[in-house]
Structure 1
């Protein structure tokens, strides 16, 4: 028969082993929870690029699925964060990226809104291509000519009286300010953009808007080369020929006149424009961007 002393000692030893085992298991469980928490945090922040991309797609899908239009309000970061199960930091980065891409309008203290289509981002890319010798002036002129011939043809049949009046007014402004290359360069860019808008194809208008900085610089360089009034008047006459054909709703004559304008510009200014180093300034400074963009 076991003695009471031995039995009590055995019980104390068993309790100690159980307590030690419980502490050990508790520590292991805490470690596991900590590891999971760290992994989750790393998954959110360490690979935040993929989460942000998912969030960006989710916002785009929301706009599509809910039939949102420019100016419509979107839910805030918290809504999307709760729906996707991601942090506010992820949604803040996603909203910031969408704002930079001008897909949504993000203003401090206000809910985001759906943005209008904007060609200025493409314009930045084009100018960057020039500055880094990835794109030539001939590349742009070929694309512009292709787009503008078709836009002019469509404008000649689709334009409204108000759109025709706008185009006519712009050409008159070019004639009035023919001695000011800076103003002429702005009005000329607006002239081509107005025709693209009159085609009623929003993509034509956005492509032409994206070319506006290049168009302005090229026009200014070409206009400065017109050293006599007769040379400047010739340029105005070429623009008026396009307007007259659009006014008559004659797509063939309008297209021919636009083609002549491009061909003459390349023939007369190619060497000068090909050597030009394009710059972002001043066309992307506040208050200096063309009114058409």
Structure 2
């Protein structure tokens, strides 16, 4: 123990986190130096570096790929299920709650996107919409593409708290689609996505905040009605 009973491994884990989050020395998907180099740079043993890396892997900041090295994760620090949603048993009620949360959040998200997104970010949103549409028209599974569309919108808000909510947003889309399929309303859900994603993307491309927010509200409300929420 050291420094007020904080383990040295935790101190070093915090130092590496600072390099990622504050100093921006390492970006998402970047490879970190090997243990020897980090140990020399930070003035500690390789064992301490190894323990610090384990802490950061557990916190979804780093990932270790055997034979390749240690990398910053694509979304450092974002937990897969930070709110413990997977433990909720009443899935029908959960889907209704997801829709209610999205009804409040996502129309505001598209307003931020219109105001803040770069042209490249808007192109990415449109590309995600086109990909989902192609899969729907081909009769192929589209849940992942649907999630990517809503995730691209969340990222383009340039709001760090909304970005941290990405796992929840993606889970809400996934749960809604799977519930619709098993509940016999899968075709309604796919048509809702096909029509309203295009409308949302078009308004975003035109940088029409009111139109995009209204289209997003209608998209989510339509999903609630189709599923009897």
TM over 0.5: yes
Aligned to 1:76: 35
Aligned to 2:81: 124
**1-side partners of 2:189 and 2:100: how far apart?**
24
Structure with larger Rg: 1
**2-side partners of 1:166 and 1:82: how far apart?**
39
**1:243 positional shift:** 1.8
Which has a greater percent of helix?
1
Taking a change above 3 Å as real, the CA distance of residues 82 and 117 of structure 1, as seen in their structure-2 partners, is closer
**1:251 positional shift:** 0.3
**1:248 positional shift:** 1.9
1:152 has 2:114 as partner: no
Paired positions, count:
221
The 5-angstrom pairing of residues 10-89 of structure 1 reads: 50-61=7-18, 68-70=25-27, 71=30, 73-74=32-33, 76=35, 79=39, 83=43, 88-89=46-47
How large is the Cα RMSD of the aligned pairs? Answer: 3.9
TM-score when normalising by structure 1: 0.58
TM-score when normalising by structure 2: 0.71
Choose which of 233, 253, 266 in structure 1 pairs with 2:191. 233
**2-side partners of 1:180 and 1:124: how far apart?**
31
Choose which of 195, 212, 215 in structure 1 pairs with 2:170. 212
**1:217 positional shift:** 3.3
Gaps of 5+ in 2: none
Do 1:238 and 1:261's aligned partners in 2 also have CA atoms closer than 8 Å? yes
**1-side partners of 2:50 and 2:32: how far apart?**
16
**1:216 positional shift:** 1.9
**1-side partners of 2:115 and 2:22: how far apart?**
35
Gaps of 5+ in 1: 1-42, 272-293
Q: Write the deviation string for residues 5-56 of structure 1: whole angstroms up to 9, x where unpaired.
A: xxxxxxxxxxxxxxxxxxxxxxxxxxxxxxxxxxxxxx79xxx984543443
**1:262 positional shift:** 1.5
Secondary structure of the 2:158 match is: coil
Aligned to 1:183: 141
**2-side partners of 1:184 and 1:256: how far apart?**
24
Choose which of 164, 173, 183 in structure 1 pairs with 2:122. 164
Secondary structure of the 2:26 match is: coil
Q: Greater shift after overlay, 158-167 or 148-157?
A: 158-167
Secondary structure of the 1:177 match is: helix
Aligned to 1:6: none
Secondary structure of the 2:81 match is: helix
